[in-house]
Amino acid sequence: MTNHSTKKEFSEGLFEYRHVAQKKLLLSLSITVITMILEFVGGYLSNSMALISDAGHMFTHAFALIIGLAAIIIARKPPCHHQTFGLYRAEVLAAFVNGLFLIAVVGLIVYEAILRLLHPSEILGLEMLLIAFIGLIVNIASIMILRGVHKENLNIRGVFYHMFADAISSVGIVIAALVIMYTNWTFIDPLVSIGISIIILFWAWGVLKDSTRILLETAPKGLNIDMIADDLKENFSEIRELHNVHLWSITPDMLVFSAHAQIELGKSEAKQEEIISKINDYLLKKYNIIECTIQICTEQGSEVCNISS
């Protein structure tokens, strides 16, 4: 049994939130694609490989944004007879893919950096500085657009970290370019790249860990079934015991709970319904559990509950 009115309000709020996130991703994607096209055309006209390379870098930004945007569009589709929870998990899957993508980018950066250390080549400091500034401005714009939204959505968080990592990368490249311009220490460039890669790897691991936890349907971070079972028994004296308890996430902000509850004797069916309704309200308000299924077991039926658990 669930609290349908509260659940409906939550779903409507979630839908509106995703609409806002979708608009922000679209705006960020537009800025990135325009910059990518300008850099590619400018690189072709000026015969600058550096500009064309940075256009390729911008393509990785666009790829991450497109994955995040597609996931939100898919997730907004309503549940149906064979997708009973809807397609909200598409956002978690997108976060997982972006996490893997970030690790692949790290691998490529480190590989290129090692090659540069082993085989130093001339670096045009001024051109490098200008390109880094272009990338920095675009990344800062995307970060400001997505700021705040990333805290509530794992999918957006993956995209946000991609942009933030690139912004730090651009800052590092600006510093490296200035050093190279005045000292000609070209080894600074690959060393900065490796340092940035370590930061990106740290963020990518966090996104992968959180998304994997949800995809494997483990309990949400900071919660477990014993904690909630003890809390319910403490606050609802009618509950004698809880069996076959399960807790998992559809998305980080959509938790699901189910259990077999052994209720003390003498409670009428109407009283049992009232108890379940109160438990639903309590779980929603305290733990943000939007879907709760509780099967009632009397003392005579407690053996069935124990067997099923």
Give a yes or no: residue 121 inside a domain.
yes
CATH of the domain at 67: 1.20.1510.10
pLDDT tens by residue, 177-225 = 788 778 877 777 777 777 777 777 877 788 788 888 888 888 888 888 8
Q: Are residues 145 and 12 in the same domain?
A: yes
Q: Are residues 62 and 130 in the same domain?
A: yes
Q: Are residues 237 and 199 in the same domain?
A: no
Model confidence band, residue 154 (pLDDT cutoffs 50, 70, 90): low
Predicted TM-score (pTM) above 0.75: no
Q: Are residues 81 and 153 in the same domain?
A: yes
Q: Are residues 64 and 162 in the same domain?
A: yes
The dihedrals phi and psi of 244, each to the nearest 5 degrees, come to 50, 45
Nearest to 288 by CA among 82, 13, 87: 13
Count of domains forming the chain:
2
Q: Give the range of the structural domain holding residue 27, as residue numbers without chain letter.
A: 4-215
pLDDT at site 126: 74
Domain end (from 160, 190, 215): 215
Model confidence band, residue 149 (pLDDT cutoffs 50, 70, 90): low
Domain end (from 156, 185, 215): 215
Q: Are residues 232 and 211 in the same domain?
A: no
Q: Are residues 66 and 179 in the same domain?
A: yes
pLDDT tens by residue, 7-52 = 554 454 455 546 667 787 888 888 878 877 876 776 566 554 445 5
CATH of the domain at 241: 3.30.70.1350
Q: Are residues 207 and 284 in the same domain?
A: no
Q: Are residues 172 and 70 in the same domain?
A: yes
Give a yes or no: residue 220 inside a domain.
no
Q: Are residues 129 and 51 in the same domain?
A: yes
Encode 170-201: b = buried (16+ Cβ within 10 Å), e = exposed.
bbbbbebbebbeeeeebebbbebbeebbebbb
pLDDT at site 257: 92
Q: Are residues 168 and 187 in the same domain?
A: yes
Nearest to 173 by CA among 215, 135, 122, 213: 135
Domain end (from 215, 233, 264): 215
